[in-house]
Structure 1
Amino acid sequence: MADDKITINRPLVGIIALACLGIAGYLYWLAPQDLFAQQDIATGAFMRVGLLMLAFWLALPTKNRDAAWANLPPWLFVAVIVTIVLFATRPKIAIPLMLFFGILGFVLRPRNKKRRPPRY
């Protein structure tokens, strides 16, 4: 049973995401407010599940591309978890840190390999 390969149906995940987001949109904008008692809860639940399925659909592998997490180093996973915990415990440092890392990423980005030919 360990040798069985599980196939992931990427189009079905996308359809589920669109259906959940569509139902959430209908409940939020078009349905009457007194349709049922827990309408706000159902709207929020469909929205969250739809967004989660959409993120999962984006991360799944395609025929031409590996999964989004296939080539990530383990330290990056740990850094993301630590960052989420840090922002959850101290949200006031989130904006300065994002600005700092944005500027740092802009400065340290890879340069274009194309260079102009020398002038004579």
Structure 2
Amino acid sequence: MAGEKIPINRTLVGIIALACLGVAGYLYWFAEQDLFAQQDIVTGAFMRVGLLMLAFWLALPTRNRDAAWANVPPWLFVAVAVTIVLFATRPKVAIPLVLFFGIIGFVLRPRNKKRRPPRY
């Protein structure tokens, strides 16, 4: 069961995303405010599900390209999760860490292939 591929219909995911976003837009702009008691909750739920499905649709593979996560190493997923938890628990740590990694990224970036010929 671990080696099986699960077929995912990318078109259906896109249709579900558009339908959820359409219902959320209708409830927000066109429906009366007192249509039912939990209108704000339902509108927010449709909006969140629609945005999540839209992000999922963007990440799914197409005929011409692999899935967005196909070439991402597993340690990167762990690092992102730990970073999100760290920033959520200690937001004051975020600014120095972003600056630190920005400087490290600038220093360690790939150099241009074209170099000037040496002067004699």
1:97 corresponds in structure 2 to 97
Task: Compare 8-17 and 101-110 and name the one that shifted more.
Answer: 101-110
Across the two proteins, how many residue pairs are aligned to each other?
A: 119
Which SS does the other structure have where 2:33 is aligned? coil
Gaps of 5+ in 2: none
**CA separation of 1:28/1:5 partners in 2, compared to 1, >3 Å: closer, same or farther?**
same
User: How has the CA–CA distance of structure 1 residues 26 and 112 changed in structure 2, closer, same or farther, with 3 Å as cutoff?
Assistant: farther
Question: Which amino acid letter does the alignment assign opposite residue 77 of structure 1?
Answer: F
Between the aligned partners of 1:67 and 1:61, the Cα distance in structure 2 is: 4
TM-score, normalised with respect to structure 2:
0.81
User: Relative to 1, partners in 2 of residues 1:78 and 1:5: Cα closer, same or farther, differing over 3 Å?
Assistant: closer
Q: How does 1:1-120 map to 2 (within 5 A)?
A: 5-113=5-113, 115=114
- Residue by residue over 1:62-111, the C-alpha shift from the partner in whole angstroms, topping out at 9 and shown as x without a partner, is 11111111111121111011101101211232233334333433443334
Secondary structure of the 1:86 match is helix
Poorly superposed stretches of 4+, deviation over 4 Å: 1-4
Measured on the aligned residues, the alpha-carbon RMSD in Å equals 2.5
